[in-house]
Amino acid sequence: MPLPSERDRVAADDEDPESSLWAPRMALLVTLSVLVGYTLTTLMNVLGQGPGPLMLVAVSVCLALTLALQLLHSTRSPRSWPARTRALTLSAQAVATYAPLAWFGLPWGAMAGFLAGSLLLAVPGRVRWLLYLLSAVAIVPVVLALYGPEAGAAIYGAGVTLLTGFIVYGVSSLTELVEETRETRSALARMAVVAERLRVARDLHDLLGYRLSAITLKNELAYRLLPAAPERAGAEIAETLVIVREALADVRLVATGYRDMSVRAEADSAVSVLSSARIRVRAEVASGPLSREVDTALSIVLREAVTNVLRHSKAQHCEISAVRDGGRVRLAVSNDGVEAEPPGRRGVGLDNLRIRMEAVGGTLESGRLGEDRFRVTATAPAPDAEEPSAPEPEERRGRSWAPNHTLVITVMVLAGYLLIMLINAGTVSAASAVSAAGMLATLGCLAAVFGLQLLHSLCRPRTWPLRLRVMTLAVQGAATYAPLLWTGRPWGAMAGFFAGSLLLSGAAPARWALFAGSVAVLAPIAAAEGEPASYDAYLVVSSLVAGLVVYGVTTMYALVVEIREARDALAIGEVTRERLAVAHELNEGLGAGLSEIALKGELIHRLLPGTPDAAQAEIIEVLDVSRRTLADVRLVASGYRGRAPQRNPPSARQKEAGK
């Protein structure tokens, strides 16, 4: 019976270019945009101080070196580098960061944030967070030396460093996370297929092996009874037909993976089969109601134990008991055939059973009792039987840390920007002598902006009705620009949240025009207040960068979630494909063999008791088919378990036919 070939499977990345190709590129583009945006902001701040030609060259070299090192740290997984390489690059970035800081002060502050982000990216362990804090504290003496004992400037400089560092770390780690999630989803889908193949191997061995052994046994008994007792032979053939129908049902169960079995029904079947083998059997089933999972697992243990008695032992007596003991149920199958587990030989049956029992919180033990008995004992929790419930969704059972990690980064980045906006708003309000009522109104507006930004960042606004999107954006826009009525002048990154929301909520290409317009409006307002051109440029660029950061971290959070969902869907699709292949192969191989046995069984049943000689000849053919079909089951089970699948390996029946 041929097995599905691994080489026949198509890589999911080729089937899903949207998430496999666009997502990493988008993540890298966001990271580059953030880094270049902060670099341009720093350059504009420095140019606003009018540096001379020599100083301008030094600044350009330091900016280029800092940006290049930051790109390496953000895109090349620096924690995998040798420690010496990391120490060298971080030291070079520290020199390029702190030397210009002593010359230019706060206008260079964003570059200290780059260093803080690189420390988080490159240094392993918890010490990186200490170094991250120290990198912000280190600029405080410089700021105090340049601006005097002004606490506001020092707090602002340290806060900007911490925020910038965390943003750099956040977008860089999200880029890596998007790539890792994309790369691992195909591997996890293959793992799901392997798990499905192991299930098929166990089910083939545990379910069909028992049925086919029972069919062979009863046909052998019927053959011996003919022609002396044709009526008894007919009764055995009738029971064989029942088992054949059950085996055909088992084929469907193996293919679909859904089955419910009963210990009581299996015990009744075991008594019939063992009695046909002239083994005296005593059965006691007092397990009471059991959950579906436990009942099925114990039924399979009982079936395998009986199969081993028939196949491996010389038993004359067998005892079966399934009883409750407190909050657990105990199944025991014992017999006086001490060769049930021959020395030096270990099959897969007991290993399969242990796996099944562990899956339901149970245990399995087997071994000799004295000199002449062998026992298999399984115990499991025995809660009350429960109503069938829908399986838990795959995305909940398989939820990983990645979406939660990106969510935390997104919220923390937004909170950091809110903190900087509060500091900037406070500085502007103090310079404009805004009243206490105006300060409270500003705080209220910023709270509304932050709340709406969380809504737009976490709830996929493009799926909302158009009217709802327009309403929330209008409220956020009003809360963004309303403080200008009493402060008179804008502040850095003021429109960043609103610009990011426009990108998240609008439809292309209009959203990019709205994004640029929401930021560009700040320049004439600041110019009307007499601000220098360098400050006007700073307002625009800082708000643009803030908007891109908001859009970038939100988009990457959504990408991680979508890739995660696509990975789960891919795993489910691959398992479904595997089940379809198994169903096809089982129907062609085992199904055909069992159908042939069923047809010949019907013929034998009609021939008895009138023509025992013809019936005996048909039984010989049935025995041959059943033995070959059982060999097919063992071949498939061992092929799934122990070796890579081959392309169309011949079945036992095909080998026999070729001789």
The stretch 226-250 carries a mean pLDDT of 80
Q: How many domains does the chain have?
A: 1
Q: What is the CATH number of the domain that holds 349?
A: 3.30.565.10
Report which of residues 122 and 643 the model is more confident about: 122
Residue 370: phi, psi to the nearest 5? 70, -145
- pLDDT category of residue 158 using cuts at 50, 70 and 90: confident
Query: Do residues 39 and 63 lie in contact, with contact meaning Cβ atoms separated by under 8 Å?
Result: yes
Query: Do residues 361 and 380 lie in contact, with contact meaning Cβ atoms separated by under 8 Å?
Result: yes
What token pair was written down for 489? 């002048």
Residue 373 forms part of a structural domain: yes
Residue 652 forms part of a structural domain: no
Say yes or no to pLDDT of 16 above 60. no
**H-run or E-run covering 332:** strand 328-335
**H-run or E-run covering 333:** strand 328-335
Say yes or no to pLDDT of 620 above 70. yes
Residue 611 forms part of a structural domain: no
Residue 508 forms part of a structural domain: no
The stretch 257-268 carries a mean pLDDT of 78
- pLDDT category of residue 331 using cuts at 50, 70 and 90: very high
Q: Helix/strand/coil (H, E, C) string of 593-646? A: HHHHHHHHHHHHHHHCCCCHHHHHHHHHHHHHHHHHHHHHHHHHHHHHHHCCCC
Using CA atoms, how far apart are residues 281 and 434, in angstroms rounded to an integer?
A: 95
Helix or strand or coil: residue 329?
strand
Residue 186 forms part of a structural domain: no
Using CA atoms, how far apart are residues 451 and 10, in angstroms rounded to an integer?
A: 44
| 558: Cβ contacts below 8 Å, ≥ 6 apart | 460
DSSP secondary structure letters along 72-92: HHHHS-GGGS-HHHHHHHHHH
Residue 363 forms part of a structural domain: yes
| Residues 39-63: tens digit of each pLDDT | 888 888 788 777 888 888 888 898 9
In 3D space, the residue among 53, 66, 55, 57 whose CA is nearest the CA of residue 110 turns out to be 66
Using CA atoms, how far apart are residues 316 and 469, in angstroms rounded to an integer?
A: 79
What token pair was written down for 183? 């790369």
In 3D space, the residue among 563, 655, 619 whose CA is nearest the CA of residue 233 turns out to be 619
Using CA atoms, how far apart are residues 475 and 98, in angstroms rounded to an integer?
A: 42
Task: Tell me the H-state helices in 257-334.
Answer: 263-276, 292-312
Q: What is the pLDDT of residue 183?
A: 66
Domain extent, residue 342, equals 290-384
What token pair was written down for 481? 């620009």
Residue 306 forms part of a structural domain: yes
Residue 214 forms part of a structural domain: no
Query: Among 159-163, 317-321, 401-405, 428-432, which stretch is predicted with the lowest mean pLDDT?
Result: 401-405
Q: What is the DSSP letter of 205?
A: I
R_g over Cα of the chain: 37
Report which of residues 358 and 644 the model is more confident about: 358
Rounded to the nearest angstrom, the gap between the alpha carbon of residue 278 and the centroid of all alpha carbons in its chain is 52
